[in-house]
Amino acid sequence: MRPNRIKQMWRDGRWVTMGWLSVSHGFTAEVMARQGFDALVVDMQHGTTDMSDLWPMLQAISQTDTVPVVRVPWNDPATILKALDLGAYAIIVPLINTAEDAAKAVAACRYPPVGMRSSGPVRAVHYGGADYVAKANDEIVVMAMVETKEGLANLDAICATPGLDAVYIGPADLSFALGLPPGPDKTDPVHVAACDKIRDTAHTHGIKACMHCASAAFAAGAVKRGFDLIMLTSDLASMIAGVRRQLDELKTLV
């Protein structure tokens, strides 16, 4: 089976860079995948992607060495199964509130006897290799988003879930849980402390901690703070920033 680069990098003690796809288009996915990210997320929760859009985007990403990742819209085994069968090599599951939620997400990503995933990797076997079914349990990465009051209260139990590879911080929803306004790259001491607690708890249980960022400066700080994966930027954010930069520059020149 094709090795999962995310797991390889983590085994080597390296941190992982990840990009984000909010726009559901194969060409956008291909362009983003060619920019040098280690991994690239197709966002089905808040992006414009539906299931019918997913497989062309995964095909586009898999032309490169970038690891295809899918954030599913909910902790739904049917959606997780379909995303994996179409070739996702990592799954991000939002709004994990309890150890039971985490165990459900892990089970959906693992074939029996350790999970409940049904066999039928219609595209994944062509992307991953002929021995995909035999080795997928060891290669697919499962990330649980901890971002609510309940999730924070159950953080230790969530991180102790067998088979869970990482926790992923959603800073906006975590802000809601902490009584703060949502926003990118939060530097409020309460938010920073909560993120550091999530990181430390994950590491205590031998799993990884991932941070969703919106700038290189904040991402660099997250790496220095010990986070194992950083999401740097999205297609939509990059497009908006690039257009605004050109417009602003034009206005200063005429």
Euclidean distance between CA atoms 202 and 211, whole angstroms: 12
* 77-85 and 51-61 helices, crossing angle to 10°: 40
Q: Collect all residues with Cβ–Cβ distance below 8 Å to 69 and sequence separation of at least 6.
A: 18, 39, 40, 41, 42, 88, 89, 90, 91, 92, 141
Helices (H), 110-209: 124-128, 132-139, 149-153, 155-159, 171-177, 189-204
Q: What is the largest CA-CA distance in the chain?
A: 67
Burial 50-69 (b: 16+ CB within 10 A, else e): eeebbbbbbbbbbebebbbb
Instruction: Give the phi and the psi of residue 217 in degrees, each rounded to 5.
Output: -65, -45
Beta carbons of 105 and 80 less than 8 angstroms apart: yes
Torsion of CA 31, 37, 43, 46, to 10 degrees: -100
Q: Collect all residues with Cβ–Cβ distance below 8 Å to 131 and sequence separation of at least 6.
A: 1
Q: Of residues 25, 46, 203, 205, which has the active-site annotation?
A: 46
- Active-site residue flag, 203: no
Active site residues per annotation: 46
